[in-house]
Amino acid sequence: MWSLCLTDSSAQQEIPDWQILLQLDNDLFAEADRDYTSGVRIGFLQEIPASTYQAKGMVRRLEDRASPLTNRLKSFRISDSSKLRFARGFGLTQLMCTPDNPRALVAPEGQRPYAGWLGLEYSLHVKDRNYANSLTFTLGSTGDGSLAEEAQNWVHRYISNSPLFQGWDSQVPSETTVNIHFDHKQRFRGLLSESLGDIEFDGYYETGISLGNFRTDAYLGGLARVGIRLPSNFSTPRVRLGSFGQELFSDSQSDERKLSTFLFAGLRGVAVAHDITLDGPIFREFDGAVRSKSIVGEALYGLGFRYRKLDLVFSQTLRSKEFEGQDKSQKFGSVMLGFKSAFN
């Protein structure tokens, strides 16, 4: 077990700032209101000093009980653990999905079922100059406990002035969800610290798996960036559980006192075994379930800025059809605001 104690009495040092992430996905940014229609997340991330019991426990875990997947990836040279860096994160996320027709009491054929999810996450992150691994635990609920209907009705009444969706009584029923997510990122060695005058470019590829009754899947993807004074923050604005928003790799020389601007683009392929918002609960019956597609593809592009301790990032995501019989693929927009605070 990784130790949960956060301080070491033998090492008194400055407590790192927390980074706060406010993230929003919404299909209204793409002039639509259907399928995956909204995601909202607030996340808190903090570096863990290497001398703490928690960081030392994470190193021991990698050295003594590293998973076969971590060993295969050869993610870290544990013999030089002084170069490893650590972080932890907490998050609160709400997701919601609807069919195309707001007047439909039950999702029509070819349209996505009503579904909502609300959950908490706790994540641990280990990184060095080329790699970053994240392990995230989530606990949440679908159904009435997700508060998706209440949240959407409030936004549609007071912000977007959109029609109210009438079919929330037919949503995926309540089920407590427990999930574990493992994510691995590795820098493209051919893009490591490259520049052309004032223009810099870099990127990484990523793999990951999720196991649990909320979602079980595996993915492979990559992202590339080009810009001026590229920040060490690689976080994209999309709402993703365990999303790591602090300095991803540990050798960045970016000057946070100056304005950074950059463009980014990425691709991802996902192999899906179970998605509760489509296939329905595992432990309860749901007549409105559809069959999730086994392979889903995504393309992502966007624009970001950083100045001092403030990050602002925008993106658009193009996603292929997610279930059998779906009428059309989807596009949605995302925005992220990030800033740092000492909380003291």
Pairing type for strands 85-98 and 18-26 reads: unpaired
What stretches of the chain show up as alpha helix (H) in DSSP? 53-65, 68-73, 148-158, 276-279
Share of the chain above pLDDT 70, in %: 78
Model confidence pLDDT, tens digit, residues 216-258? 999 999 999 999 988 877 777 889 876 666 666 655 555 566 8
Q: pTM, whole model, 2 decimals?
A: 0.85
Instruction: Give burial (CB, 10 Å; 0-12/13-18/19+) of 304.
Output: buried
- Quick check: 73 pLDDT over 50? no
Q: Are 90 and 121 in contact (CB under 8 A)?
A: yes
Q: What is the pLDDT of residue 92?
A: 95
Q: What is the pLDDT of residue 8?
A: 42
User: Which residues is 287 bridged to in the sheet?
Assistant: none
Name every residue whose Cβ is closer than 8 Å to that of residue 108 and which is 6 or more positions away in sequence. Answer: 99, 100, 101
Model confidence pLDDT, tens digit, residues 146-161? 999 999 999 999 988 8
Model confidence pLDDT, tens digit, residues 90-121? 999 999 999 999 999 999 988 999 999 999 99
Q: What is the pLDDT of residue 2?
A: 36
For residue 163, the 8-state DSSP code is: P
For residue 198, the 8-state DSSP code is: T
Q: What is the pLDDT of residue 255?
A: 56
Name every residue whose Cβ is closer than 8 Å to that of residue 331 and which is 6 or more positions away in sequence. Answer: 27, 30, 32, 316, 317, 318, 319
For residue 328, the 8-state DSSP code is: S
Q: How far is CA 204 from CA 23, 131, 332, in A?
A: 22, 9, 23
Measure the CA dihedral 194/126/270/186, to 10°: 20
Name every residue whose Cβ is closer than 8 Å to that of residue 273 and which is 6 or more positions away in sequence. Answer: 216, 217, 294
Average pLDDT, the chain: 83
Among residues 168, 205, 175, which one has the least CA distance to residue 189? Answer: 205
The number of CA neighbours under 13 Å toward the Cβ of 327 is: 12
- Quick check: 88 pLDDT over 50? yes
Amino acid type, 192? L
pLDDT band of 77, cuts 50, 70, 90: very low
Q: What is the CA radius of gyration of the chain?
A: 21
Among residues 307, 308, 315, 313, which one has the least CA distance to residue 336? Answer: 313
Q: What is the pLDDT of residue 129?
A: 79
- Report d(CA 223, CA 204) in Å as an integer: 6
Structural domains in the chain, CATH included, are 18-341 (2.40.128.140)
- Report d(CA 38, CA 60) in Å as an integer: 40
- Quick check: 285 pLDDT over 60? yes
pLDDT band of 18, cuts 50, 70, 90: confident
Three-state SS at 189: helix
Q: What is the full DSSP assignment across 94-133?
A: EEEEE-S-TT-SSPPTTSPPPEEEEEEEEEEEEE-SSEEE
pLDDT band of 343, cuts 50, 70, 90: low
For residue 169, the 8-state DSSP code is: G
